[in-house]
Amino acid sequence: MARVLLLVPARTYRATDFLVAAGRLGLELVIGSDGALPLSDRLVVRVDPDDVAASVDRLVARCGPVDAVVAVDTPMLLLAAATAARMGLPHNPVDAVLASTDKATQRHRWAVAGVAQPAFRVVRAGASPAALCDAAAQVGFPCVVKAVSLSASQGVLRVDDGAGAVAAAERIRQILRGAGRPADEPLLVEEYVPGWELSIDGLLTNGELTVTAVFDKPDIPDGPTFEETMLVTPSRLPQPILAAALGTAEHAAAALGLRHGPIHAELRLAARRGQRPTMLELAARSVGGLCSRALRFLDGASLEQLVLANALGGRVPPQRFTGAAGVLMLPVERAGVLQAVHGRADAAAVPGITGLSITIPAGQAVRPLPEGDRYLGFLFAEGATHLEVEEALRVARRRLRVVIL
């Protein structure tokens, strides 16, 4: 029986799906976590992802031999790489993982490697309003101001002029303070790239990318915030454009130094550049939230099963889709306290809807993006065509009545 060290952050949507996947594969698990997890009799080693050296020492001392180390979500990526390196297991270089979690470092490495991406400037902490305006003017308006360390569209704003850039920077600084991020973190100012957006999920084996899913994003907003909305797979893009996008994502991963495990790449087809695939961001993990539940592979395998099998050196089977599938992330629409979500049964009854999960319990304070970092929940659908899936998701969403006071 293969033995896997699974590193689970205290706050993640994905713990349950990875635990179920491990059970289906018959794996023996050792868990490393910084939170309280209901894991029955499994060994759980307490770790602190902000203290990598001490956590690696603790894991090596207590885990015993394992065949692979897998991070469930972003906060554990660096610890997973460092632990696998200490144990002599296949892993991404630590500096590559660091680069994948810092948007400014990504931009610099991609620039050196010639990866297609937006024009950008990095603005240091404490820069004057004039310096910020100058950086924005250099990349051109409209532009996007973003924190370099946050994810899931948190701390990302589109602005249309210099005054807007200054206001956005101050707002993002407040978000960073609320998230406990370092006060000296720089900000990234980059060109706004209009065009069709897609995301690519895949698994790397010795630097070679096997694609597991390509999602179209038909309803992506154009600002001022950029919350995720709908993902539909397989992509409807023409094969030449799709092949170019896949090549760009693989090139981007290689430029960061990533060689093993999952990646999740976000791209736009730049309307002003002849639909050229242009890298927005890339993470050394699979698609976030509960979005992977929209995917099923041969023999009913989940994406998490593929991630675990890949970590153990297994092959990735092709997707099995007779039609289309999609997921709609339900945004938090206003700040306040969530009171109730009405209409769940009506939404679930829409033809084509295959699942609905509300992930924030009533009574919790909520905030929309860019301050917030959670979605209200996830709707899932399947259909014969992309249009059927999109219509089912939109109709189901309209049947939900969210009460936030």
Q: Residue 238: what pLDDT?
A: 95
CA 197, CA 216: separation in Å to the nearest integer? 6
User: 134 with 85, same domain?
Assistant: no
Tell me the torsion sign for CA atoms 81, 82, 83, 84: positive
Last residue of a domain, one of 173, 191, 209: 191
Cα separation, 196 vs 218, in Å, equals 8
Contact 289, 279 (CB under 8 A): no
All residues at 6 or more sequence positions from 15 whose CB lies less than 8 Å from its CB, including other chains:
8, 37, 72
The candidate with the shortest Cα–Cα distance to 286, out of 2, 50, 34, 17, is 17
Model confidence over 329-355: pLDDT tens digits? 999 999 999 999 999 999 999 999 999
Considering the domain architecture, whether residues 87 and 126 belong to the same structural domain is answered as: no
Distance of CA 266 to the CA centre of its chain: 9
Q: Using CA atoms, how far apart are residues 310 and 301, in angstroms rounded to an integer?
A: 13
pLDDT of residue 359: 95
The amino acid present at 258, given as its one-letter code, is L
In a domain, 401, yes or no: yes
Sheet containing strand 401-404, edge to edge, reads 365-366, 336-342, 401-404
Reported pTM: 0.94
Let me know whether 328 and 399 are in one domain. yes
The residues facing 297 across adjacent strands are: 319
| Phi-psi map region of 311: left, alpha, beta (phi>0 left; psi -120 to 50 alpha) | alpha
Q: Does the residue 202 lie in any domain?
A: no
Tally of domains within the chain? 3
What CATH number is attached to the domain comprising 169? 3.30.1490.20
Model confidence band, residue 184 (pLDDT cutoffs 50, 70, 90): confident
Q: What is the pLDDT of residues 144-171, one digit of tens each?
A: 999 999 887 888 999 999 999 999 999 9
Residue type for 228, please?
E
Residue 44 in any domain: the answer is yes
The rounded percent of the chain whose pLDDT value lies above 90 is 81
Q: Is residue 142 part of a domain?
A: yes
Instruction: Tell which of 191, 214, 242 closes a domain.
Output: 191
Instruction: With respect to residue 97, please indicate whether it lies within any of the assigned structural domains.
Output: no
Residue 162: which H helix or E strand, with range?
A: helix 162-178
Task: Report if residue 306 sits inside a domain.
Answer: no
Statement: residue 181 has pLDDT above 90: no
CA angle 384/393/17 to nearest 5° reads 90
**Residue 124 is encoded by which pair of tokens?**
């240091």
Do 86 and 130 fall into the same domain?
no
> Is 75 found in the same domain as 126?
no
139, 85: one domain? no
d(CA 49, CA 34): 7
Task: State the CATH number of the domain containing residue 397.
Answer: 3.90.1170.30
Determine contact, residues 242/216, Cβ cutoff 8 Å: no
CA distance 251 to 217: 22
State the residue range of the domain holding 58.
Answer: 3-91
Mean pLDDT of 247-256: 97
pLDDT tier, 190 (very low <50, low <70, confident <90, very high otherwise): very high
Report the pLDDT value the prediction gives residue 332, as an integer from 0 to 100. 93
Q: What is the pLDDT of residues 195-244, one digit of tens each?
A: 999 999 999 999 999 999 999 999 888 888 888 789 999 999 999 999 99
Q: Are residues 23 and 84 in the same domain?
A: yes
Question: 87 and 131 in one domain?
Answer: no
Q: Is residue 225 part of a domain?
A: no
CATH code of residue 39: 3.40.50.20
What one-character DSSP code corresponds to residue 297? B
Domain boundary among 191, 225, 240: 191
Domain assignment of residue 231, yes or no: no
No. of helices (H) and no. of strands (E), the chain: 11, 19
